[in-house]
Amino acid sequence: MKILHTADIHIREEGDKRWQALEKVIETAKEKGVDYLSISGDLFETDANADNLRPKIRGLFDDTNFNTLIIPGNHDANAYSSGYYFGGNIELLSNDDWSQNVVEDEKAVFIGLSFAEMDAMEFHWQLQRVLEEVNTDLPIVLLYHGELLDASFDRGAFGPEESKRYMPTRLSFFAEANIEYVLAGHFHSNFNVRKYGENGFFIYPGSPVSITSRETGKRQAALIELGEDPGDINLDTFHYQELKIHLNAFDQRDPIQVIEQELDTVDPKAAVLLEISGTITGSEQDMVEKVEELIGEVDVASSEYLFKDISQIVSHPVFDLFEQHLDELSESEEEVSETKREELRQMVIQAMSEVDL
Protein backbone atom coordinates (compact mmCIF):
# COMPACT_ATOMS: atom_id res chain seq x y z
CA MET A 1 0.00 0.00 0.00
CA LYS A 2 1.31 3.40 -0.99
CA ILE A 3 0.51 6.74 0.62
CA LEU A 4 1.41 10.27 -0.45
CA HIS A 5 1.40 12.52 2.58
CA THR A 6 1.18 16.30 2.80
CA ALA A 7 -0.30 19.07 5.00
CA ASP A 8 -0.36 22.85 5.41
CA ILE A 9 -1.19 23.98 1.88
CA HIS A 10 -3.14 26.95 3.30
CA ILE A 11 -5.12 27.58 0.10
CA ARG A 12 -7.07 30.83 -0.03
CA GLU A 13 -7.92 31.51 -3.66
CA GLU A 14 -8.36 29.68 -6.91
CA GLY A 15 -5.41 29.53 -9.27
CA ASP A 16 -2.69 31.12 -7.12
CA LYS A 17 0.62 29.49 -6.13
CA ARG A 18 -0.87 27.56 -3.23
CA TRP A 19 -3.73 26.31 -5.39
CA GLN A 20 -1.18 25.21 -8.00
CA ALA A 21 0.69 23.35 -5.24
CA LEU A 22 -2.48 21.42 -4.40
CA GLU A 23 -2.83 20.55 -8.09
CA LYS A 24 0.80 19.42 -8.14
CA VAL A 25 0.27 17.21 -5.08
CA ILE A 26 -2.75 15.54 -6.70
CA GLU A 27 -0.84 15.11 -9.96
CA THR A 28 2.07 13.52 -8.04
CA ALA A 29 -0.30 11.13 -6.26
CA LYS A 30 -1.62 10.04 -9.66
CA GLU A 31 1.86 9.62 -11.13
CA LYS A 32 3.06 7.55 -8.19
CA GLY A 33 -0.03 5.36 -8.31
CA VAL A 34 -0.77 5.72 -4.60
CA ASP A 35 -3.73 4.19 -2.80
CA TYR A 36 -4.13 7.10 -0.41
CA LEU A 37 -3.40 10.80 -0.29
CA SER A 38 -3.35 12.20 3.24
CA ILE A 39 -3.72 15.90 4.04
CA SER A 40 -3.07 16.39 7.75
CA GLY A 41 -4.61 19.76 8.45
CA ASP A 42 -4.51 23.36 7.24
CA LEU A 43 -5.56 22.51 3.71
CA PHE A 44 -7.29 25.91 3.92
CA GLU A 45 -5.86 29.17 5.26
CA THR A 46 -9.09 29.97 7.13
CA ASP A 47 -12.55 28.53 7.68
CA ALA A 48 -13.95 31.32 5.47
CA ASN A 49 -11.56 30.39 2.64
CA ALA A 50 -12.76 26.81 2.96
CA ASP A 51 -16.35 27.94 2.66
CA ASN A 52 -15.60 29.84 -0.56
CA LEU A 53 -13.37 27.24 -2.14
CA ARG A 54 -15.33 24.11 -1.23
CA PRO A 55 -17.36 24.05 -4.48
CA LYS A 56 -14.23 24.83 -6.51
CA ILE A 57 -11.84 22.18 -5.23
CA ARG A 58 -14.30 19.35 -5.98
CA GLY A 59 -13.19 19.32 -9.61
CA LEU A 60 -9.55 18.74 -8.66
CA PHE A 61 -10.35 15.37 -7.10
CA ASP A 62 -12.75 14.24 -9.83
CA ASP A 63 -10.76 11.64 -11.69
CA THR A 64 -8.53 10.42 -8.89
CA ASN A 65 -8.32 6.69 -8.37
CA PHE A 66 -7.00 6.96 -4.82
CA ASN A 67 -8.72 7.92 -1.59
CA THR A 68 -7.95 11.30 -0.07
CA LEU A 69 -8.04 11.49 3.72
CA ILE A 70 -8.36 14.95 5.24
CA ILE A 71 -8.26 16.10 8.86
CA PRO A 72 -8.78 19.69 10.06
CA GLY A 73 -5.83 21.68 11.39
CA ASN A 74 -5.81 24.74 13.62
CA HIS A 75 -6.41 27.01 10.59
CA ASP A 76 -9.44 25.12 9.27
CA ALA A 77 -10.74 23.54 12.47
CA ASN A 78 -14.37 24.45 11.71
CA ALA A 79 -14.37 24.06 7.93
CA TYR A 80 -15.72 20.54 7.74
CA SER A 81 -19.32 20.53 8.95
CA SER A 82 -21.12 17.28 8.38
CA GLY A 83 -22.79 17.04 5.01
CA TYR A 84 -20.30 19.31 3.26
CA TYR A 85 -19.04 17.84 0.02
CA PHE A 86 -15.43 18.43 -1.03
CA GLY A 87 -15.22 16.02 -3.94
CA GLY A 88 -15.27 12.35 -4.93
CA ASN A 89 -13.01 9.88 -3.15
CA ILE A 90 -12.51 12.27 -0.24
CA GLU A 91 -12.95 11.04 3.31
CA LEU A 92 -13.25 13.79 5.89
CA LEU A 93 -11.95 12.63 9.24
CA SER A 94 -13.23 15.65 11.07
CA ASN A 95 -15.32 14.32 13.93
CA ASP A 96 -14.36 15.52 17.42
CA ASP A 97 -14.88 11.94 18.52
CA TRP A 98 -11.84 10.31 16.93
CA SER A 99 -13.40 6.85 17.00
CA GLN A 100 -15.71 8.18 14.24
CA ASN A 101 -12.66 8.95 12.06
CA VAL A 102 -11.56 5.40 11.32
CA VAL A 103 -10.88 4.09 7.82
CA GLU A 104 -10.30 0.37 7.61
CA ASP A 105 -8.29 -0.99 4.74
CA GLU A 106 -7.19 -4.60 4.17
CA LYS A 107 -3.63 -3.74 5.13
CA ALA A 108 -3.90 -0.92 7.65
CA VAL A 109 -6.28 1.12 9.76
CA PHE A 110 -6.24 4.92 9.48
CA ILE A 111 -7.38 7.09 12.35
CA GLY A 112 -7.87 10.84 11.93
CA LEU A 113 -7.02 12.77 15.09
CA SER A 114 -8.89 15.87 14.03
CA PHE A 115 -7.54 19.06 15.57
CA ALA A 116 -9.02 20.45 18.78
CA GLU A 117 -7.71 22.76 21.49
CA MET A 118 -6.14 20.49 24.10
CA ASP A 119 -2.92 20.01 26.05
CA ALA A 120 -0.56 17.01 25.89
CA MET A 121 -2.20 15.21 28.84
CA GLU A 122 -5.65 15.45 27.29
CA PHE A 123 -4.25 14.37 23.91
CA HIS A 124 -2.62 11.29 25.43
CA TRP A 125 -5.84 10.36 27.17
CA GLN A 126 -7.92 10.79 23.99
CA LEU A 127 -5.39 8.77 22.01
CA GLN A 128 -5.50 5.87 24.47
CA ARG A 129 -9.29 5.97 24.37
CA VAL A 130 -9.51 5.72 20.59
CA LEU A 131 -6.86 2.98 20.44
CA GLU A 132 -8.84 0.89 22.92
CA GLU A 133 -11.93 1.28 20.78
CA VAL A 134 -10.27 0.51 17.46
CA ASN A 135 -8.52 -2.61 18.77
CA THR A 136 -6.94 -4.12 15.63
CA ASP A 137 -3.98 -6.35 14.72
CA LEU A 138 -3.36 -4.37 11.56
CA PRO A 139 -0.77 -1.59 11.49
CA ILE A 140 -2.26 1.73 12.55
CA VAL A 141 -1.63 4.93 10.61
CA LEU A 142 -2.54 8.16 12.40
CA LEU A 143 -3.30 11.52 10.84
CA TYR A 144 -2.34 14.27 13.27
CA HIS A 145 -2.00 18.07 13.21
CA GLY A 146 -0.01 19.69 15.98
CA GLU A 147 3.24 20.32 17.70
CA LEU A 148 5.75 17.63 18.58
CA LEU A 149 7.25 18.55 21.94
CA ASP A 150 10.29 16.27 21.57
CA ALA A 151 11.74 18.56 18.95
CA SER A 152 12.82 22.04 19.89
CA PHE A 153 11.47 23.65 16.74
CA ASP A 154 11.82 27.36 16.30
CA ARG A 155 8.44 29.11 16.70
CA GLY A 156 8.55 30.40 13.13
CA ALA A 157 8.73 26.83 11.85
CA PHE A 158 4.95 26.54 12.09
CA GLY A 159 4.14 29.55 9.95
CA PRO A 160 2.70 32.73 11.42
CA GLU A 161 1.11 31.35 14.58
CA GLU A 162 0.43 32.63 18.05
CA SER A 163 2.77 31.55 20.81
CA LYS A 164 0.43 28.95 22.32
CA ARG A 165 0.93 25.23 21.75
CA TYR A 166 -1.34 23.45 19.28
CA MET A 167 -2.50 19.98 20.35
CA PRO A 168 1.01 19.09 21.56
CA THR A 169 2.24 15.51 21.70
CA ARG A 170 5.31 13.37 22.40
CA LEU A 171 6.86 10.52 20.42
CA SER A 172 6.60 8.24 23.46
CA PHE A 173 2.78 8.43 23.18
CA PHE A 174 2.94 6.57 19.88
CA ALA A 175 5.37 3.85 20.89
CA GLU A 176 2.81 1.91 22.92
CA ALA A 177 0.33 0.53 20.36
CA ASN A 178 1.10 -0.84 16.90
CA ILE A 179 1.11 2.67 15.47
CA GLU A 180 3.39 2.39 12.49
CA TYR A 181 3.18 5.88 11.05
CA VAL A 182 2.08 9.26 12.29
CA LEU A 183 1.30 11.37 9.24
CA ALA A 184 1.67 14.78 10.80
CA GLY A 185 1.05 18.38 9.84
CA HIS A 186 1.68 21.83 11.37
CA PHE A 187 5.48 22.02 10.92
CA HIS A 188 6.09 24.02 7.75
CA SER A 189 9.87 24.29 7.37
CA ASN A 190 10.91 21.05 5.71
CA PHE A 191 10.50 17.29 5.42
CA ASN A 192 11.33 15.85 8.82
CA VAL A 193 11.09 12.23 10.00
CA ARG A 194 11.58 10.93 13.54
CA LYS A 195 11.68 7.29 14.62
CA TYR A 196 9.97 6.05 17.74
CA GLY A 197 9.61 2.64 19.38
CA GLU A 198 10.81 -0.28 17.30
CA ASN A 199 9.71 0.75 13.86
CA GLY A 200 7.43 3.73 14.11
CA PHE A 201 7.83 6.87 12.04
CA PHE A 202 6.57 10.34 12.83
CA ILE A 203 6.53 12.32 9.60
CA TYR A 204 6.27 16.06 9.07
CA PRO A 205 6.33 16.55 5.27
CA GLY A 206 6.79 20.35 5.46
CA SER A 207 4.39 22.62 3.58
CA PRO A 208 4.28 21.74 -0.15
CA VAL A 209 4.48 25.46 -1.02
CA SER A 210 6.26 28.25 0.87
CA ILE A 211 3.74 30.08 3.04
CA THR A 212 6.23 32.60 4.47
CA SER A 213 9.80 33.50 3.47
CA ARG A 214 11.06 31.40 6.39
CA GLU A 215 10.25 28.28 4.41
CA THR A 216 13.18 28.16 2.04
CA GLY A 217 14.25 25.52 -0.44
CA LYS A 218 12.43 23.10 -2.67
CA ARG A 219 9.23 21.76 -1.13
CA GLN A 220 8.49 18.12 -0.53
CA ALA A 221 5.86 15.50 0.16
CA ALA A 222 6.28 12.16 1.91
CA LEU A 223 5.90 8.92 -0.02
CA ILE A 224 5.22 5.91 2.15
CA GLU A 225 5.20 2.27 1.19
CA LEU A 226 3.62 0.40 4.09
CA GLY A 227 6.24 -1.42 6.18
CA GLU A 228 9.15 0.60 4.82
CA ASP A 229 11.04 3.74 5.75
CA PRO A 230 9.26 6.86 4.48
CA GLY A 231 10.81 8.68 1.57
CA ASP A 232 10.57 12.25 0.33
CA ILE A 233 9.83 13.52 -3.14
CA ASN A 234 10.56 16.96 -4.46
CA LEU A 235 7.63 19.02 -5.67
CA ASP A 236 7.95 21.51 -8.47
CA THR A 237 6.09 24.24 -6.57
CA PHE A 238 6.60 27.83 -5.49
CA HIS A 239 9.22 28.32 -2.78
CA TYR A 240 11.67 30.87 -1.44
CA GLN A 241 15.32 30.36 -2.20
CA GLU A 242 18.20 32.01 -0.38
CA LEU A 243 20.92 33.29 -2.66
CA LYS A 244 24.00 34.65 -0.92
CA ILE A 245 26.73 35.98 -3.16
CA HIS A 246 30.06 37.03 -1.71
CA LEU A 247 32.14 39.27 -3.94
CA ASN A 248 35.88 39.57 -3.67
CA ALA A 249 37.61 42.63 -5.09
CA PHE A 250 40.76 40.56 -5.66
CA ASP A 251 38.93 37.91 -7.66
CA GLN A 252 40.04 38.00 -11.30
CA ARG A 253 36.45 37.44 -12.45
CA ASP A 254 34.08 40.26 -13.27
CA PRO A 255 31.67 40.62 -10.30
CA ILE A 256 28.76 41.21 -12.67
CA GLN A 257 29.50 37.91 -14.35
CA VAL A 258 29.69 36.19 -10.96
CA ILE A 259 26.24 37.55 -10.04
CA GLU A 260 24.79 36.68 -13.44
CA GLN A 261 25.98 33.08 -13.14
CA GLU A 262 24.47 32.76 -9.68
CA LEU A 263 21.13 34.21 -10.82
CA ASP A 264 21.10 31.69 -13.68
CA THR A 265 20.98 28.83 -11.18
CA VAL A 266 17.71 30.04 -9.61
CA ASP A 267 14.82 27.57 -9.84
CA PRO A 268 12.10 29.00 -12.13
CA LYS A 269 9.51 28.31 -9.41
CA ALA A 270 11.49 30.17 -6.75
CA ALA A 271 11.39 33.69 -5.35
CA VAL A 272 14.89 34.74 -4.36
CA LEU A 273 16.00 36.18 -1.04
CA LEU A 274 19.10 37.87 -2.40
CA GLU A 275 22.08 38.95 -0.38
CA ILE A 276 25.25 40.32 -1.97
CA SER A 277 28.18 40.95 0.33
CA GLY A 278 31.96 41.31 0.12
CA THR A 279 34.16 43.84 -1.59
CA ILE A 280 34.31 45.60 -4.95
CA THR A 281 36.48 48.30 -6.49
CA GLY A 282 34.20 50.79 -8.16
CA SER A 283 31.00 52.66 -7.58
CA GLU A 284 28.59 50.93 -5.19
CA GLN A 285 25.68 52.76 -6.76
CA ASP A 286 26.63 51.59 -10.27
CA MET A 287 26.89 48.07 -8.95
CA VAL A 288 23.39 48.18 -7.45
CA GLU A 289 21.99 49.53 -10.73
CA LYS A 290 23.72 46.81 -12.76
CA VAL A 291 22.43 44.13 -10.41
CA GLU A 292 18.86 45.41 -10.69
CA GLU A 293 19.19 45.25 -14.48
CA LEU A 294 20.50 41.69 -14.26
CA ILE A 295 17.60 40.58 -12.09
CA GLY A 296 15.23 40.98 -15.03
CA GLU A 297 13.03 37.90 -15.18
CA VAL A 298 14.14 36.47 -11.84
CA ASP A 299 11.54 36.81 -9.09
CA VAL A 300 13.45 38.60 -6.31
CA ALA A 301 11.39 38.80 -3.13
CA SER A 302 14.00 40.77 -1.19
CA SER A 303 17.48 42.10 -1.82
CA GLU A 304 20.17 43.10 0.62
CA TYR A 305 23.28 44.85 -0.61
CA LEU A 306 26.07 44.48 1.91
CA PHE A 307 29.11 44.88 -0.36
CA LYS A 308 31.61 47.67 -0.02
CA ASP A 309 33.81 49.66 -2.36
CA ILE A 310 37.41 49.37 -1.11
CA SER A 311 39.20 51.30 -3.87
CA GLN A 312 40.30 54.00 -1.42
CA ILE A 313 41.99 51.42 0.74
CA VAL A 314 43.67 49.33 -1.95
CA SER A 315 45.06 52.38 -3.72
CA HIS A 316 46.65 53.65 -0.51
CA PRO A 317 50.48 53.40 -0.35
CA VAL A 318 50.27 51.44 2.92
CA PHE A 319 48.27 48.72 1.23
CA ASP A 320 50.76 48.68 -1.61
CA LEU A 321 53.55 48.11 0.89
CA PHE A 322 51.62 45.26 2.44
CA GLU A 323 51.11 43.55 -0.95
CA GLN A 324 54.80 43.98 -1.79
CA HIS A 325 55.73 42.44 1.51
CA LEU A 326 53.45 39.47 0.86
CA ASP A 327 55.10 38.92 -2.53
CA GLU A 328 58.57 39.04 -1.00
CA LEU A 329 57.54 36.61 1.70
CA SER A 330 56.24 34.15 -0.87
CA GLU A 331 59.47 34.30 -2.82
CA SER A 332 61.71 33.84 0.20
CA GLU A 333 61.41 31.53 3.16
CA GLU A 334 57.66 30.82 3.50
CA GLU A 335 55.13 29.80 0.91
CA VAL A 336 52.01 31.97 1.43
CA SER A 337 48.92 30.15 0.19
CA GLU A 338 46.18 32.04 -1.64
CA THR A 339 43.76 31.43 1.26
CA LYS A 340 46.28 32.76 3.76
CA ARG A 341 46.94 35.74 1.51
CA GLU A 342 43.19 36.43 1.34
CA GLU A 343 42.86 36.14 5.10
CA LEU A 344 45.69 38.63 5.67
CA ARG A 345 44.24 41.02 3.10
CA GLN A 346 40.86 40.96 4.86
CA MET A 347 42.56 41.78 8.15
CA VAL A 348 44.50 44.67 6.64
CA ILE A 349 41.43 46.03 4.84
CA GLN A 350 39.41 45.79 8.06
CA ALA A 351 42.15 47.54 10.03
CA MET A 352 42.60 50.24 7.42
CA SER A 353 38.89 50.94 7.22
CA GLU A 354 38.85 51.61 10.96
CA VAL A 355 41.38 54.47 10.79
CA ASP A 356 41.27 57.78 8.96
CA LEU A 357 43.61 57.42 6.04
Name the site residues for Mn ion (rule: CB under 5 A): 8, 42, 159
Q: Alpha-carbon distance 69 to 5, whole Å?
A: 10
Please identify, using beta-carbon distances, which residue of 42 and 180 lies nearer to Mn ion. 42
Output the smallest distance, CB 12 to Mn ion, in A.
Answer: 12
Q: How far is the CB of 45 from Mn ion (least distance, A)?
A: 9
Q: Taking the CA atoms of the chain, what radius of gyration do you get in angstroms?
A: 27
Q: Residue 71's beta-bridge partner residues? A: 40
Shortest reach from residue 8's CB to Mn ion, in Å: 4
Q: CB-wise, 8 or 147, nearer to Mn ion?
A: 8
Closest contact distance (angstroms) between CB of 81 and Mn ion is 21
H or E, element range at 184: strand 179-185
- Compute the least distance from the CB of residue 265 to Mn ion, in Å: 30
Report d(CA 326, CA 328) in Å as an integer: 5
- Compare residues 112 and 159 and give the one whose CB is closer to Mn ion: 159
Rank residues 118 and 352 by Cβ distance to Mn ion and give the closer one.
118
Residue number of the CB atom closest to Mn ion: 42
Q: How far is residue 169's CA from residue 166's CA, in Å, rounded to a whole number?
A: 9
Decide: helix, strand or coil at residue 134: helix
Q: 229, exposed or middle or buried, with CB in 10 Å at 0-12, 13-18, 19+?
A: exposed
For Mn ion, the closer CB: 112 or 255: 112
Cβ atoms of 179 and 140 within 8 Å: the answer is yes
Q: Rounded CA gap, 357 and 311, in Å?
A: 12
